[in-house]
A and B are shown apart, each in its own frame.
Chain A
Amino acid sequence: MQNKDLDTEKLRRSQPVRSAELDRRLLERAEKLSEGRKTVGTDSAKTGFFVLNAKEDNTMDRNTKMIEVRSRKPAAFAAAAAALVLMVGGAVYASNKSTSNIDIDTPASQSETDETPAKEPEEEKIFVEPKEWAKSYLEQNNDTYGYISIPGIEYKDGSKVIDYPVAISADFDFYITHAFDKTEADGGCICADYSALDGSQPQIVQLFGSAVNCDFEWLLDNNKWTFAPAEGADTSKPSFAALQVYTTMEALTQAPIIEFKTVWQDGGEYAVIGCTQVEGDVMGIGKVDDIEKWANMIREQSYFDCDIECGADDEYLVLNLWDNDMTRFRVFAKKLDADDDKDKIIKSYRPKEGSGYEDLGEETADTNMVSIELPIPDNIRDMFLIEAYSGDEELSADTFADEDRKIYDSFFEVGRGDDLPNSFSLAIPGKGQQKVTVALIDPLSSDSTRNRVKYAVLDVDFDEGKYNVIGTVNKSGALEMFAKNPQNNIPIPLAIPDGTKSIYFDTYMDGKCVDTLYVENLSTDSAAVPNKIVLNSTGKKTVTVYARKSADKTGFEYASFDVDFDSGKLDYSENGEEKQEALTAYSEGKVRPVFIEIPVPTGYKKTVTLEAYYEDVYMGKMEYTKDSQRPFGLTLVEDGVDKISVTAVFDDKTVPDYMTMYVDFDNGTYEFTEDGEPKTGLFDQMEDE
């Protein structure tokens, strides 16, 4: 059998070739940088950014830079100096929008470069020092870019929740995983994206902050909404989690202005113009060609409306709340200028119809919020629902879950592996004196009639903000309810490609099939997409999912996970990612699995792992144990003819080329190579040992 494969040389020749002109322009820019002359711009000019040249003057303070800019209106630069920004490192971007009265000689586009002679500019030297406030931060971290704070989003003691220095790095990922002092830290610190990496302030500044401490409440306290982090939260970690309060109208009216400044620029006030939830793997907004169109798009997608004028000449701030490399929430703001009326802006905020925006302000105009704190019983599940019902009388069994009386509905969760807090809190609205019943619900229970328990009954004085627990908190009832379902249920998300038809997914753990998921016809229009396997166990286990059609007995290894059921940690095993292309081809009948039987002596009791390789590339594995319910062999799904080698791993010993064969996947056959037959004698050897 012969294996026809890719000619890499032909592949290499297909790559695109850059023009010599591109390198010429690059070298020209570099040359002018080294000469200290004004720069040639980039194609980015059409985005509104332009490149300034920066060079260091050794006679100046370490944080003092000289910049040279070219303009046809040099007199305007005195006023513009404060707005022009730069920092350590190369070419400098700045926004011509912050100096709107300056007519910047923007660079020619690529096609114009050759034909349009560059105008000899008048040159102006400007000395810019970092602002006084920034010097201490620059001493601490030379990557300091600016500072952000949001008045109005505050803790109960009046301190701002978002009040952080901003860092920037050429390696964008650095400050995603490092604190401002450059030590490794979960959640990193607040950082700007690379478009401003040379210290400039582009027309659209993007900042990123982590979702650390995302568990919080937004409470009304003495007529002011305050940010209440979950108990045990480490509020010293920089986070943009609090941005999510902008999903309420109260935050918009209480905190409509974001303050942001760069180390070289006076502070600016930015009015919130929109916020959106972002789906999918989207980091950053990328390059914007048409600012006005972009601003309009934000307004269209935002949850709320407002009457702020947004133009192509305005400056914008985008705050990104990210979580595990995925942006999940964005707040957009526009820099205010003299023409903007703050009061008018605040009054113009209004929810869009059907946006789900809750205008708690109107609803709670004549109500008060009371914060209730209740203890958590020992060993309780780390995830449950909390509901509260109010009324003149204590809730009876008949009126339990009375929707008309429900005043609170929330979800309690702590990260698996974290220490459970001793208590949980809920903020409930009301007025006068009322009885409040708090119920706990087990969301994983399938028995809807027995999945809730009356946890506490309170006598609440909403006007005075006080409450008393009537009787005792029903800890034992809660424990009994949660005991009905076993602990350590781990949902394992399984990515299944669209279009998958008539496939069984058999899940094996400890050699036994513990779950079978059947996908009849998967499409994005499916009402319910079966893509989750819930398993229950303890300790660390490897979970392997095999995909098969009903006619096939064995299926092939589709995905493999290492699961720690105690801590809830879940990750792919090595090479364990879902083989979606293979599944699609298999589902469509384009490829067939070939089962390669591997003989094993009767009575063999030890664990053996068999790994198949094609030219050192891993293709699949099989773990054999004496109680294994799977046949002893490997199932591979490919096409064409491949030479496959199987490596056997006996405890800590690895035997390469345990067997070698040519597999004709198209015809479902295989034949051993010369000397390729299974070295079964090794089993006997291991038995003897």
Chain B
Amino acid sequence: MQVMSDNSDLKFVIGKYGDAVYNVICSRISRRAEADDIYQEVFLLYYTKELDFPDEAARRSWLIRTALNMTRSANRSSWNIFRDDGELDAETIPDDVRTPQEQSLWNAVRGLRDKYRLPVILHYFNGVPVAEAANMMGIGENTFKSRLMRARKLLKTELENLL
């Protein structure tokens, strides 16, 4: 196990990729405490593992794939499926500092099916290039772009109301 002598590297990585990781988690997890939990676990795992990355893209890819893996279990859990709606709503992610319009748009993004939501989160929110994001999702570039376009079309109505 590698334990860092200081956490300056971790601070740097959180500063650089914290938003990306958090957005990916929040796009798939409804409850704030659970999202926060997974967020911490992703970075603590990064912190304690001996990981060599050839470049920053590889580091970002590892962080996002780990976040996706960790959310998968929770998101697809039979426990969540069987849980009452009241439980799901009780700790939903708050509005933060977003305007009502932005909140509505975020709700629309969250309302997209997973296959369309993730491309939006990865590419538009976090600026992950198409090839890299497609690789993270395990799909072809054309399929990724196709989903991205569908997602944009699905969000179009929301935009027309908001713009």
Which residues of A come within 8 Å of B, CB atoms? 4-8, 10-18, 22-23, 25-27, 29-31, 33-34, 36, 42-44, 54-56, 88-91, 109-110, 170-173, 193-195, 197-198, 278, 281-289, 294, 297, 574-575, 577, 581, 614-619, 638-640
Given A27-B7, A170-B49, residue A617 in contact with residue B148 (CB < 8 A): yes
- Flag whether B135 is at the interface (Cβ < 8 A): no
User: Are B43 and A7 within 8 A (Cβ)?
Assistant: no
What chain B residues lie within 8 Å of A23 (beta carbons)?
14, 18
What chain A residues lie within 8 Å of B82 (beta carbons)?
297
When chains A and B are docked, how far (Å) is the Cα of A282 from the Cα of B78?
7
User: Are B43 and A287 within 8 A (Cβ)?
Assistant: no
What chain A residues lie within 8 Å of B26 (beta carbons)?
15-16
What chain A residues lie within 8 Å of B78 (beta carbons)?
278, 282, 285-286
User: Are A618 and B18 within 8 A (Cβ)?
Assistant: no
What chain A residues lie within 8 Å of B154 (beta carbons)?
581
| Residue of A11, A54, A88, A640 ringed by the most chain B CB atoms within 10 A | A11
| Residue of B10, B41, B78, B152 ringed by the most chain A CB atoms within 10 A | B78
22 sample A-B contacts, Cβ–Cβ < 8 Å, listed by A number: A6-B152, A10-B162, A14-B105, A15-B23, A18-B18, A27-B14, A31-B7, A42-B37, A42-B40, A89-B48, A90-B45, A91-B44, A110-B32, A172-B72, A278-B78, A284-B77, A285-B79, A286-B78, A286-B79, A294-B79, A574-B140, A617-B145
- Residues of B in contact (CB 8 Å), total 74
Instruction: Give the number of A-B contacts (CB < 8 Å).
Output: 198
What chain A residues lie within 8 Å of B72 (beta carbons)?
172, 283-284
Instruction: Output the nearest chain A residue to B5 by Cβ-Cβ distance.
Output: A34
Given A30-B10, A110-B33, residue A286 in contact with residue B48 (CB < 8 A): no
Instruction: Output the nearest chain A residue to B22 by Cβ-Cβ distance.
Output: A18
Instruction: Output the nearest chain B residue to A286 by Cβ-Cβ distance.
Output: B77
User: Are B49 and A18 within 8 A (Cβ)?
Assistant: no
User: Are B143 and A90 within 8 A (Cβ)?
Assistant: no
| Residue of B5, B10, B80 ringed by the most chain A CB atoms within 10 A | B10
When chains A and B are docked, how far (Å) is the Cα of A198 from the Cα of B39?
16
Instruction: Output the nearest chain A residue to B96 by Cβ-Cβ distance.
Output: A17
When chains A and B are docked, how far (Å) is the Cα of A172 from the Cα of B65?
10
User: Are B36 and A283 within 8 A (Cβ)?
Assistant: no
Given A44-B37, A282-B78, residue A618 in contact with residue B145 (CB < 8 A): yes
User: Are A90 and B79 within 8 A (Cβ)?
Assistant: no
User: Are B14 and A614 within 8 A (Cβ)?
Assistant: no
Q: What's the minimum C-beta distance from A130 to chain B, rounded to whole angstroms?
A: 14
User: Are B6 and A173 within 8 A (Cβ)?
Assistant: no
When chains A and B are docked, how far (Å) is the Cα of A638 from the Cα of B23?
29
User: Are A29 and B77 within 8 A (Cβ)?
Assistant: no
When chains A and B are docked, how far (Å) is the Cα of A25 from the Cα of B48?
16
Binary interface encoding of chain B residues 59-96 relative to chain A, with 1 for a CB under 8 A from any of its CBs, else 0: 00000011001101111111111100000000001001
What chain B residues lie within 8 Å of A197 (beta carbons)?
45
User: Are B40 and A26 within 8 A (Cβ)?
Assistant: yes
What chain A residues lie within 8 Å of B36 (beta carbons)?
18, 22, 43, 110
What chain B residues lie within 8 Å of A25 (beta carbons)?
40
Given A22-B36, A639-B153, residue A90 in contact with residue B47 (CB < 8 A): yes
User: Are B7 and A16 within 8 A (Cβ)?
Assistant: no
User: Are B105 and A11 within 8 A (Cβ)?
Assistant: yes
Instruction: Output the nearest chain B residue to A91 by Cβ-Cβ distance.
Output: B44
9 extra interface residue pairs, beta carbon distance < 8 Å, beyond A6-B155, A14-B103: A10-B163, A26-B14, A26-B44, A30-B4, A30-B7, A171-B65, A286-B77, A287-B77, A640-B156
User: Are B77 and A577 within 8 A (Cβ)?
Assistant: no
Q: What's the minimum C-beta distance from A207 to chain B, rounded to whole angstroms?
A: 13
Given A42-B37, A109-B33, residue A614 in contact with residue B1 (CB < 8 A): no
User: Are B39 and A193 within 8 A (Cβ)?
Assistant: no
User: Are A5 and B109 within 8 A (Cβ)?
Assistant: no
User: Are A12 and B124 within 8 A (Cβ)?
Assistant: yes
- Flag whether B106 is at the interface (Cβ < 8 A): yes
Q: What's the minimum C-beta distance from B95 to chain A, rounded to whole angstroms?
A: 9
What chain B residues lie within 8 Å of A171 (beta carbons)?
65-66, 69
What chain B residues lie within 8 Å of A10 (beta carbons)?
102, 105, 159, 162-163
- Flag whether B16 is at the interface (Cβ < 8 A): no
Instruction: Output the nearest chain B residue to A193 by Cβ-Cβ distance.
Output: B73
What chain A residues lie within 8 Å of B57 (beta carbons)?
none
Given A7-B159, A43-B34, A575-B143, residue A638 in contact with residue B73 (CB < 8 A): no
What chain B residues lie within 8 Å of A15 (beta carbons)?
19, 23, 26, 106, 121, 125
When chains A and B are docked, how far (Å) is the Cα of A14 from the Cα of B163?
13
| Cβ-neighbour of B45 out of A170, A195, A278, A640 (below 8 A) | A170
Given A14-B106, A282-B78, A287-B79, residue A195 in contact with residue B73 (CB < 8 A): yes
What chain A residues lie within 8 Å of B47 (beta carbons)?
30, 33, 90
Q: What's the minimum C-beta distance from A300 to chain B, rounded to whole angstroms?
A: 10
What chain B residues lie within 8 Å of A618 (beta carbons)?
142, 145-146
What chain A residues lie within 8 Å of B66 (beta carbons)?
170-171
Q: What's the minimum C-beta distance from A14 to chain B, rounded to whole angstroms?
A: 4
What chain A residues lie within 8 Å of B33 (beta carbons)?
43, 109-110
What chain A residues lie within 8 Å of B55 (beta carbons)?
none
Given A17-B96, A22-B39, A34-B6, residue A284 in contact with residue B73 (CB < 8 A): yes
Instruction: Output the nearest chain B residue to A17 by Cβ-Cβ distance.
Output: B96
User: Are B102 and A574 within 8 A (Cβ)?
Assistant: no
Closest 5 CB pairs of A and B: A286-B77, A90-B48, A284-B73, A14-B105, A14-B102
Given A44-B37, A574-B143, residue A282 in contact with residue B1 (CB < 8 A): no
Within 8 A of A (CB), among B111-162: 120-121, 124-125, 140, 142-143, 145-146, 148-150, 152-156, 159-160, 162
| Cβ-neighbour of B106 out of A16, A173, A287, A619 (below 8 A) | A16
